[in-house]
Amino acid sequence: MELQFLGTGAGVPAKHRNVSSIALKLLDERNAVWLFDCGEGTQLQILKSNIRPRKIEKIFITHLHGDHIYGLPGLLSSRSFQGGNEQLDIYGPQGIKNFIETSFSVSKTRVSYPIVYHELSDGGVAFEDKQFKVEYLPLDHGILSYGYRVAEADHEGELQVEKLKELGIPSGPMYGRIKRGETVTLENGQVINGKDFVGQKKAGRIVTILGDTRKTKNSITLARGADVLVHESTYNKDEAQMARSYYHSTSHQAAETAKMAEVKQLILTHISARYLNKDIIQLEDEAKEIFPVVKAVKDMEVIDIPFVEGN
């Protein structure tokens, strides 16, 4: 599981930062990529990565401001020409379907795969299967803006095969019973408890990706206990009044959310083009005044999300 930041800027593209888009790469987990937002130029950023558009299985839109959606029509059209024939699911606020279908209608665009739209309401579960559950809640941005919590199911402990071989138990159907934790009797009469031969469960990882927002309780709810919290940091700590006026957050406010939610790592993104190298370091340092594990990301950066021992 990896996050790749295709665009980390706020508002308009800049030479050093494109506008918002994040890829959650689930290639080992389900051979798929989930995209969060798709600002202008996202498909050009994808060309710089190893992401294949046909692998994009789902797109989650946080809100309908242009710097988060203007790249959608182009990417969806190009996916047809790049081998994407599988169904694509798009989640987002009411209006996302109209935006895409109007773009297709005006430009006479046809795609070679079905698009299923999921226009979300006040909050709840956007998607759930045996592997993942995606919950969402509205944030505080003037326009309806969602945050998403992606929770992976727990991983069952691994069967300790070497330990079984030491007891002379050959591989076969009995391994399945042992893996399920059953008590089994061996041919020599020895009784073993399957639970003694299965490693500890690994807790599933949690990734929270928030749309643009002021500081709000729903952000804390979505981020509670997350391995990674991706939070906007449009303004520095001294610009709190401006952040409030424009429905955004400061570095300190992002860090306060991370601390209250007890996350493991805070990622700062949606950074104003006004901020250059030394300013980015300042944003990071400001957040670290409140929360210790912080990274302000740049375009194309990849963040691995490993299992944490003791989860």
Please give the positions annotated as active site: 67
Give every CB contact of residue 293 below 8 A, 6+ residues apart in sequence. Answer: 264, 265, 266
Chain centroid offset of residue 246 CA:
25
44: left (phi over 0), alpha (psi -120 to 50) or beta: alpha
Phi, psi of 249 (to 5 degrees): -125, 160
Contact indicator for 34, 56 with CB cutoff of 8 Å: yes
d(CA 201, CA 224): 21
Type of residue found at 57: E
Contact indicator for 73, 103 with CB cutoff of 8 Å: yes
| Alpha helix stretches (DSSP H) within the chain | 27-30, 42-47, 66-69, 72-81, 96-107, 161-166, 173-179, 217-223, 240-245, 251-261, 277-288
Among 255, 240, 244, which Cα is nearest to 294's? 255
